[in-house]
Amino acid sequence: GMIKKETKKTIHKMPILGSIPFLGRLFNKTVDSVENTQLWILITPHIIDISKPEDKETLKKLQEEQRKQVEMKMKTEMNKTIRQDNNK
């Protein structure tokens, strides 16, 4: 699998007071966070003889399942991007 490590530093500060030089540090909070993500890719081989009618049906089912998985992944990535944009 692939491993991704993302480090974020977030600074929360109290309006006005957090902007005062030197004293502002008393009204700030810094949060460091680390997010580790692992991506596992599992491969399942299928031997299909397209000259057989039952294998043609199996191929159609596999292609439909693959299409659904790609759609789900795209929706997940879009939602993640939208959340990141909203947090900026």
Average pLDDT over residues 63-75: 92
Report how far residue 16's alpha carbon sits from residue 24's, in angstroms, rounded to the nearest whole number. Answer: 9
Counting the structural domains of the chain, the total is 2
**More confident position, 35 or 85:** 35
- Indicate if 17 and 35 belong to the same structural domain: yes
pLDDT number for residue 57: 86
User: Within this chain, do residues 63 and 86 fall inside the same structural domain, yes or no?
Assistant: yes
Say yes or no: 75 and 37 in one domain.
no
Q: Are residues 88 and 49 in the same domain?
A: yes
pLDDT of 49:
83
For the segment 73-87, the average pLDDT, to the nearest whole number, is: 81
CA dihedral of residues 50, 46, 39, 80 (deg, nearest 10):
40
Domain containing residue 3: 1-42
Pick from 13, 49, 18: which is nearest to 31 by CA?
A: 13
Q: Are residues 37 and 50 in the same domain?
A: no
At residue 21, the 3 state secondary structure works out as coil
Supply the DSSP symbol for 61. H
Tell me the whole-structure pTM to 2 decimals: 0.39
Task: Report how far residue 31's alpha carbon sits from residue 21's, in angstroms, rounded to the nearest whole number.
Answer: 20
In this structure, are 22 and 50 located in the same domain? no
pLDDT at 64: 94
